[in-house]
Amino acid sequence: MKRTAVINTDHGAVRSVRFNHDGNYMLTCGSDKTLKLWNPTRQLLIKSYKNIHGSEILDVVASHDNSKFATAGLDRKVFLTDVSTGKVLRKIRAHDDKVNTVKFNSESTLLFSASVDGTCKVWDLRSRSYEPIQTMNEAKDNVTSLYVTDSQILTGSADACIRRYDIRLGFMYSDYLGGPISCATFTKDSQCTLAGLQGDAIRLIDNDTGKLLNEFSGHSNSEYKLECCMNSKDNYIYSGSEDSAVYIWDLITGKIISKLQHDYRVVHSISFHPTEEKLLSASLGCVYLWEIPADND
């Protein structure tokens, strides 16, 4: 991959970077309590949203139609905001401690939040109720990661467990991985879970059997919560690192095939384009755009 843009966000520190649902724009949030909408290819700031949270914004996610976004904050709240007007549509006093991450379901009718308080909660955005429709409190520690599909909810926790909730069957499956989970996500077919462990390797686990399929190591992750993901074709693994790089592994061989060098030590947040071979990465106050040149595609 080739670095095609470096964007100074003026956030102070970027806490999260995300492509929107169709990948045409990106959202960033940071320690300055603001959220920003960008065209990353043109390195163009489109809109800045202020006075949503009263403290740092830790995560953001766009709705399926890109008309709204949800944010998670250090202030224990979750907000739903209209993209075009900047109007707050919903304010949820969600948790007893800071909210790490938020996700929508595929139709953006449900909002999911995960917190340091050890819970994952589900909010019905069609209802006026201030209470969650479901609370998952099986974690014994900080719920650091959250991933949602139409039929499953995946959480990762500092208690060293990944938990997979089968919505249709009403079952919960738990796997103990031996170390705090920094990030957990499904492959595109939801057959496998990719889990990044703080102080250890990234692991690929078969969801049906719980069998370890592969490990990906060589990066540095001893202090921070780093994100990992797969590319749009599910054949490469990407992860942030604490040595100024994003690491890329081959899914089958487990070998490092490339390192994307950055200007600052910790690369903590990454987002892969939903359909194209493009990656966003955040390090300190900057966001980097990486692309595969057309002649190498």
Q: What is the pLDDT of residue 294?
A: 63
**206 found inside a domain:** yes
What secondary structure letter does DSSP report for 295?
A: G
**297 found inside a domain:** no
**13 found inside a domain:** yes
**149 found inside a domain:** yes
CATH of the domain at 150: 2.130.10.10
**296 found inside a domain:** no
Q: What is the pLDDT of residue 53?
A: 94
CB 256 within 8 A of CB 218: yes
Closest to 189 in 3D by CA, of 233, 145, 156, 155:
233
**174 found inside a domain:** yes
Phi, psi of 26 (to 5 degrees): -130, 155
Give the integer Cα–Cα distance in Å for 9 and 222: 26
Residue 60: exposed, middle, or buried by beta-carbon count in 10 A (0-12, 13-18, 19+)?
buried
Q: What is the pLDDT of residue 280?
A: 98
What is the extent of the structural domain holding 136? 2-291
CB 6 within 8 A of CB 288: yes
Q: What is the pLDDT of residue 265?
A: 87
Long-range contacts of 204-209 (CB under 8 A, 24+ apart): 204/237, 204/251, 205/162, 205/175, 207/164, 207/173
**24 found inside a domain:** yes
Give the CA radius of gyration of the chain. Answer: 18
| Sequence-ordered list of residues with C-beta below 8 angstroms from that of 253, at least 6 positions apart, any chain | none
Q: What is the pLDDT of residue 200?
A: 79
Low-confidence ranges of the chain (pLDDT < 70): 294-297
> How many separate domains does the chain show?
1
| Burial annotation 237-272 (CB, 10 A radius, 16+ → b, else e) | bbbbbbebbbbbbebeebeeeeebebeeebbbbbbb
CB 247 within 8 A of CB 239: yes
Q: What is the pLDDT of residue 107?
A: 94
Q: CB neighbours (10 Å) of residue 27?
A: 24
Q: What is the pLDDT of residue 130?
A: 87
CB 78 within 8 A of CB 100: no
What secondary structure letter does DSSP report for 294?
A: G
**156 found inside a domain:** yes
| Burial annotation 85-119 (CB, 10 A radius, 16+ → b, else e) | eeeeeeebebbeebbbbbbbbeebebbbbbbbbbb
